[in-house]
Structure 1
Amino acid sequence: MKIFIVSLLCISWLLGMHVEYRQWEKGKTFSDYMHERNISASLLESISKEDQKFLLEIRNDYNYYELLDDEGTLEQSLIPISKEMQIHLFRNENGTYGFDIIPIQYREEPFFGKINITSNPYSDALEATQYPKVAERLSMALKGVFDTSRLHKGDEIDFFYTQRTRLGTVCATPMIKMVRIASRGKEKFIYVDEDGYGYDEIGKKVAYTVTGKKKVVYTRRVKGRKRGSRFGMPLRHVRITSSFSYRRWHPILHRYRPHHGTDFGARRGTPLLAVNNGKVIYAGWMRGYGRVVKIKHAGGYVSLYAHQSRIRVKRGQYVKKGQIIGYVGSSGRSTGPHLHFGLMKNGRWIDPMKVLRKKSVGGNSVLKKFTKYKTVKTTKYRKVEIKGAQEHKKRLQAYLIDNAPSYIWKKECFEGRMKDEEVLDDDE
């Protein structure tokens, strides 16, 4: 199958067909479009998986074209999926439809403009061309290159620009290529790059500023990290009734025995707190200690909470420092409500208060490195190179020599320029 580019207007006139220009509806799928046009669903099955992905890229702000016969039957349609590619749907001689993805073909039309200054370049260009985008691009080209406040009434601005069209419809921003300013017997040419910025000459270096981040590393003396106890108290309000001892008179057994812990006096039901993060390794009854909770902590420590009235944790449970694990009671061998708190280090009982009362000690000052990022501006230079600049200047000068009339923008102006457009015909 060969694809030929032919004139849309010629086909429409010879075969009694007409072109319709539509906007893709929001939420509409390619399958919905096929159903509207009575196209068999078997066409979708014939489309490769790779091409089916493109069907999802049709956006509701895209415009598409349909070539219809005098009975309204679809002969061809061109549906954009991006600024460069489009879906081509065409009807074969046997009535079936074919599918293809092809590039979008644009026409780049040259135009010239001439304005006489009465107020300012933007207003005068808008009045002359009736095309706001041309006026905007002209103002952009003059900005920073020519002081428009120096213009006087009667001064002349001539410019050459191109406009992309597709099937007679404007589809891109106009591109100003060259501007000439004639003021009080002097003329000035302004070259315009692809971004729309103007320069009074080409080939020279121009400065521009780049903003970035610079890494700065510095040192500063700071206080050292505090070292000390990680443990808290097992009660919110502390009242010690009996201290740690290797030989203490037992109030119930009436003999001297080691007292491996510290007794805290408190009312029955007072919450007991875990002195540090850890794992409960025992929670239950333990002979003379009554109801007991034992917690294993980091660093080889194990804490014990005895004579509880009620236990609130279970064996294997992880607890945090300050979490309630039970309540003060008088279970086991006890003379009244209190907490017997014991602390082991690597399997040996130690005086809990030497750990619980250990205060944090400030370390020595040390030098520490800090990093920050500083915003810096750097001036760089680049050479102005505008492709086709001299050719654009010659075209504008030729236009001035011909003394052509000022171009007035109208949509109908494109109709006379419709030649060799992109409608596709099939030839077996």
Structure 2
Amino acid sequence: MGSLKNIVVWMLIASSLFGAKVTSEQWKKGETFSDYLNDRNISTDLLGDISKTDIKFLSEIQGQQLFYELKDQDGNLEQALIPIGKEMQIRLAKERNSEKYHFEIIPIVYQEEEYSATISIEKNLHTDISAALNHSGVADKMGQLFKGTVNAKKFRKGDKVSFVYTQKTRMGQPYYRPSIKIAMYESKGKRQFIYADEDGYGYKSDKKSQSYTVTGKKKVTYTRRVPVSKKGSRFGMPLRHIRVTSSFSYRRYHPILKRYRPHHGTDFGAKRGTPLLAVNAGKVTFSGRMGGYGKVVKIKHAGGYESLYAHQSRTRVKRGQRVKKGQIIGYVGSTGRSTGPHLHFGMKKNGRWINPMRVLRKKSIKTSILKKFTKYEDVKTTKYKKVVIKNAKENKEKLLNYLKQEGKAFIWDSNTQTSMRIKDDEYTQAL
């Protein structure tokens, strides 16, 4: 507030200077604040005095932005007011009896007034409003208001449109776009009020639909594969589909070595890459190459059991890893001494080889099943309700009172003022 008082006092002093005047300028596209200082012979050392917090706002000056300068009779800059957004502005002021300038960011002070107008349609809504009020911004906003409510293209010559709007002004000039509050369309003696919401959209009623979100619960049923768990079938099969090609034997003729040797396991025929399944939960004790067995995985199970999966093309588990029953631990291959892709499956009990088929249960081929589950999820639903448009009734009363008074519409001055004589009461208040 103190800085605002200083501006007013300073401007009152400046206004007494002979020939001092305020000019309205437009910020050049691509121009930097440094360029602006150089163009006005102001030292860029000023930039070093600007705080880090304030200096970031220099990049927010928009191209084609209208700003004001106070110049002495020789055209030297005494003060500049440069907007950065709708509410704040840069104030650059020359210090008294010095060539230095002071920089600060202050609020923009503007006035907001309410106006009313009645327009008789001669050509079309936009053209007639622009011509009558000399303000195309009002015409644009009226077009937005009528969109979706009344077809302005069907307006006939002699129809009337009355409305109430507000306009911010700064230095006696329109500042940003106007805001339509309410309008009325009259044709052949019939009236239709159009109520405006805070965003400038029109409604034929003083109520509008407003969306809101409701969060509820929705029952969701889904399926998931879960391991089979049954008493009496502790060990499952190492493959989903079983085809035994060679059984456990203490004396089997070896097809590669061409001699009889014990076959401590069961061979299962399967295609290369077929997933191999852990026959029960346990801990991996070996994963790697093991002589004629090729790539092997060994798993230690509870109760003194240990399973072996040989000739794999690729293993999927590591030593020390814990696995679940039915978990994929590798893939069928033909590594090591093998005549073709197959699984050699071995089983030990307390360190001695046993016939795997005595503990493996064919009924456990299904290591997992699809099971249905139910859960409740949060579901957001968009609903709508009717709400009263803010100040709808008050604005209607204002428009009706205006129509009773038959007041004249305010016509905006369109003279492009590149230079204005300072008026104490007007200019200082605008600051």
TM-score by length of 1: 0.65
Q: What residue in structure 2 maps to residue 81 of structure 1? A: 84
Q: CA deviation at 1:293?
A: 3.0
Q: What residue in structure 2 maps to residue 385 of structure 1? A: 391
2:427 is aligned with 1:421: yes
Query: CA contact under 8 A between 2:297 and 2:309: conserved in structure 1?
Result: yes
Query: CA contact under 8 A between 2:276 and 2:331: conserved in structure 1?
Result: no
Q: What residue in structure 2 maps to residue 115 of structure 1? A: 119
Give, in whole Å, the separation in 2 of the partners of 1:379 and 1:11: 56
Give, in whole Å, the separation in 1 of the partners of 2:153 and 2:272: 84
Match of 1:83, SS state, is: coil
Query: CA contact under 8 A between 1:67 and 1:77: conserved in structure 2?
Result: yes
Deviations 1:241-263 (A, max 9, x none): 42235xx2154798885x43223
2:211 is aligned with 1:210: yes
Query: CA contact under 8 A between 2:110 and 2:430: conserved in structure 1?
Result: no
Q: What residue in structure 2 maps to residue 21 of structure 1? A: 25
Query: CA contact under 8 A between 2:317 and 2:329: conserved in structure 1?
Result: no
Q: What residue in structure 2 maps to residue 249 of structure 1? A: 251
Closer/same/farther in 2, CA of residues 5 and 135 from structure 1, 3 Å limit: farther
Q: What residue in structure 2 maps to residue 330 of structure 1? A: 337
Q: What residue in structure 1 maps to residue 374 of structure 2? A: 368
Matched residue type, 1:411: S
Give, in whole Å, the separation in 2 of the partners of 1:295 and 1:148: 84
Give, in whole Å, the separation in 2 of the partners of 1:340 and 1:225: 25
Give, in whole Å, the separation in 2 of the partners of 1:52 and 1:24: 19
Matched residue type, 1:97: Y
2:108 is aligned with 1:104: yes
For structure 1, the 5+ residue unaligned runs are none
Q: What residue in structure 1 maps to residue 402 of structure 2? A: 396
Query: CA contact under 8 A between 2:314 and 2:331: conserved in structure 1?
Result: no
Q: Which of 161, 168, 171 is the aligned partner of 2:165? A: 161
Give, in whole Å, the separation in 1 of the partners of 2:310 and 2:191: 102
Q: CA deviation at 1:55?
A: 3.4
Matched residue type, 1:396: Y
Give, in whole Å, the separation in 1 of the partners of 2:296 and 2:272: 13
Closer/same/farther in 2, CA of residues 417 and 384 from structure 1, 3 Å limit: farther
Q: CA deviation at 1:85?
A: 0.7
2:47 is aligned with 1:44: yes
Closer/same/farther in 2, CA of residues 325 and 123 from structure 1, 3 Å limit: same
Closer/same/farther in 2, CA of residues 52 and 7 from structure 1, 3 Å limit: closer
Q: Which of 273, 285, 288 is the aligned partner of 1:283? A: 288
Matched residue type, 1:48: S
Q: CA deviation at 1:367?
A: 6.7
Identity of aligned residues (%): 32
Q: What residue in structure 1 maps to residue 232 of structure 2? A: none
Match of 2:128, SS state, is: helix
- CA root-mean-square deviation: 5.5
Query: CA contact under 8 A between 1:58 and 1:81: conserved in structure 2?
Result: yes
Matched residue type, 1:249: R
Give, in whole Å, the separation in 2 of the partners of 1:273 and 1:189: 76
Match of 2:141, SS state, is: helix
Q: State the number of aligned residues.
A: 401
Deviations 1:194-235 (A, max 9, x none): 54467899xxx7463535455243476x7785544997659x
Q: CA deviation at 1:97?
A: 1.2
Match of 1:411, SS state, is: coil
Match of 2:427, SS state, is: coil
Give, in whole Å, the separation in 2 of the partners of 1:242 and 1:187: 97
Matched residue type, 2:296: V
Map 1:142-153 → 2, pairs under 5 A: 153=157
Q: CA deviation at 1:165?
A: 2.7
Closer/same/farther in 2, CA of residues 293 and 420 from structure 1, 3 Å limit: same
Deviations 1:109-132 (A, max 9, x none): 554433223466455334433544
Give, in whole Å, the separation in 2 of the partners of 1:233 and 1:369: 33
Give, in whole Å, the separation in 1 of the partners of 2:293 and 2:191: 107
Query: CA contact under 8 A between 1:115 and 1:125: conserved in structure 2?
Result: yes
